A and B are shown apart, each in its own frame.
Chain A
């Protein structure tokens, strides 16, 4: 029953990165043409939120595949080749969408330092989002054909890389390489090490910023402290990339693993939490020795708890779930 829900979840969530992202891009273009700062901000927030939601969308796709094709035997009318093509395009679109989300967040962050934004970032967000929208549309198109065997792809999915010629699809190929199936045994442990380094970077920034908000280490103004946020985001980016490597290498460990679902849910919540700090204006005027307002303190407690929770569920994957 649970995996059935996950397939439905995928069908439900996939409207956000496709339709939602298209709407966000529309708002963004209108904002650029109309030179409206308010609209620009709204579209940046939308880009960021949709990029956050793209994570459960992508990871629930693996669970949806297992509903359609249990034990690698696909149900009547389901095209396994189409699933591979859909997954490859979805992976590419996901990568670009996360990059868009990152630069949209960076734009929101830059807006905090000065009301005028570096012109390069407007262009970067515009370019990335345009490419993402077309990739996403392609991925969605192939996704809708999974259930329609009458529309068959003219070319069958083939791995572009010689590295894993027997594995159909680029996403599966990346997974096979990370898992060590092609003889590169060091990649998984190396990715784990890098995942730990990203964790240190991210967790330290979360702690320093939020403990200051709670009253520790006074003497630091909020504005100065916020210079640390991109380091935290960098740590998150490192861990998103290495985390996706693990996910692609061993999807079976994660797609039906309740600990992993909890972890992803908490990451989404933490994404919304970090947006709070980007949006509340008065926090930015907190001086070096001032107390933060009560609701900011509540948000800070949430932030610490959410990230400890993410670390906990990530760590518990091998113990409570079925991952190693």
Chain B
């Protein structure tokens, strides 16, 4: 397994990302990861807060149009995240914190789907008050995203740490 991690880390692309002085290598990839996070978690948090009862004058149904932006953010992060793990595979893939982060993201995605199905597919949306079930989902969603961000940030501090954040 370690050989595979080392191979991953030493591919030409990984080396370029890690070692190139170009601003478009590591810095911009990490920047995109931050922007993706803002799009994905930010919009998700906005919808969750609305579901929880904040900003009651805001109709929920048009918010569904924001999901494409959320997914753009998610895929930006899936791609840049893969690159960031590749260039430091021997550390990141041996760091339990990384796998905790992945579990948080997986759970957040499951809950996101459940919210989408239960809230936005409901023909009674914006006509009847939301049930307490979806509110629990919204709280869970906020918690899972919070966990994912915290674990992500901690990757620079705990476990085997290599290179920049």
- Hey, which chain A residues are within 8 Å of B58, CB to CB? 220, 224-225, 227-228
Q: With both chains docked as a complex, state the minimum distance between the C-beta of A144 and any C-beta of chain B, in angstroms.
A: 41
B16 at the interface (CB under 8 A from A): no
Chain B window 128-165, contacts with chain A (Cβ cutoff 8 Å), 1 for yes, 0 for no: 00000000000000000110011011101100000011
The binding surface of chain A is classed by DSSP as: helix
A219 at the interface (CB under 8 A from B): yes
B39 at the interface (CB under 8 A from A): yes
B100 at the interface (CB under 8 A from A): no
Contact between chains at A219 and B46 (CB < 8 Å): no
B71 at the interface (CB under 8 A from A): no
Q: With both chains docked as a complex, state the minimum distance between the C-beta of A260 and any C-beta of chain B, in angstroms.
A: 16
Using A207-B43, A208-B46, A220-B62 as known contacts, say yes or no to A193 and B149 having CB atoms under 8 A apart: yes
A223 at the interface (CB under 8 A from B): yes
Contact between chains at B62 and A207 (CB < 8 Å): no
Contact between chains at A200 and B54 (CB < 8 Å): no
A237 at the interface (CB under 8 A from B): no
A315 at the interface (CB under 8 A from B): yes
A197 CA / B151 CA spacing, docked (Å): 12
Using A201-B42, A316-B27, A319-B23 as known contacts, say yes or no to A227 and B55 having CB atoms under 8 A apart: yes
Contact between chains at B65 and A217 (CB < 8 Å): yes
Chain A window 183-219, contacts with chain B (Cβ cutoff 8 Å), 1 for yes, 0 for no: 0000001001100110111111101100100001111
Contact between chains at A219 and B61 (CB < 8 Å): yes
A231 at the interface (CB under 8 A from B): yes
Q: B142's closest neighbor in chain A, by CB?
A: A197
Q: With both chains docked as a complex, state the minimum distance between the C-beta of A311 and any C-beta of chain B, in angstroms.
A: 7
A298 at the interface (CB under 8 A from B): no
A279 at the interface (CB under 8 A from B): no
- Hey, which chain B residues are within 8 Å of A311, CB to CB? 31, 34-35, 38
Contact between chains at A204 and B63 (CB < 8 Å): no
Q: B50's closest neighbor in chain A, by CB?
A: A228
- Hey, which chain B residues are within 8 Å of A319, CB to CB? 23, 26-27
Chain B window 53-68, contacts with chain A (Cβ cutoff 8 Å), 1 for yes, 0 for no: 0111111011101100
- Hey, which chain A residues are within 8 Å of B111, CB to CB? none
Q: With both chains docked as a complex, state the minimum distance between the C-beta of B16 and any C-beta of chain A, in angstroms.
A: 16
Q: A188's closest neighbor in chain B, by CB?
A: B157
Contact between chains at A312 and B31 (CB < 8 Å): yes
B84 at the interface (CB under 8 A from A): no
Contact between chains at B62 and A217 (CB < 8 Å): yes
A320 at the interface (CB under 8 A from B): yes
Q: With both chains docked as a complex, state the minimum distance between the C-beta of B44 and any C-beta of chain A, in angstroms.
A: 8
Contact between chains at B23 and A219 (CB < 8 Å): no
Tell me which of B23, B27, B42, B152 contacts A204 (CB under 8 A).
Answer: B42
- Hey, which chain A residues are within 8 Å of B54, CB to CB? 227, 231
Tell me which of B27, B42, B154 contacts A315 (CB under 8 A).
Answer: B27
Q: With both chains docked as a complex, state the minimum distance between the C-beta of A214 and any C-beta of chain B, in angstroms.
A: 12
Contact between chains at A203 and B38 (CB < 8 Å): yes
Contact between chains at A189 and B46 (CB < 8 Å): no
Within 8 A of A (CB), among B21-41: 23, 26-27, 30-31, 34-35, 37-39, 41
Using A217-B63, A227-B57, A308-B35 as known contacts, say yes or no to A320 and B23 having CB atoms under 8 A apart: yes
Q: A185's closest neighbor in chain B, by CB?
A: B157
Q: With both chains docked as a complex, state the minimum distance between the C-beta of A2 and any C-beta of chain B, in angstroms.
A: 22
Q: B40's closest neighbor in chain A, by CB?
A: A200
A223 CA / B56 CA spacing, docked (Å): 12
Tell me which of B37, B39, B153 contacts A207 (CB under 8 A).
Answer: B39
B69 at the interface (CB under 8 A from A): yes
A318 at the interface (CB under 8 A from B): yes
Q: With both chains docked as a complex, state the minimum distance between the C-beta of B42 and any C-beta of chain A, in angstroms.
A: 3
- Hey, which chain A residues are within 8 Å of B145, CB to CB? 200
- Hey, which chain A residues are within 8 Å of B61, CB to CB? 219
A217 CA / B153 CA spacing, docked (Å): 32
A154 CA / B119 CA spacing, docked (Å): 66
Tell me which of B27, B34, B55, B57 contacts A199 (CB under 8 A).
Answer: B34
* Smallest CB-CB A-B distances: 3 pairs: A204-B42, A219-B62, A227-B55
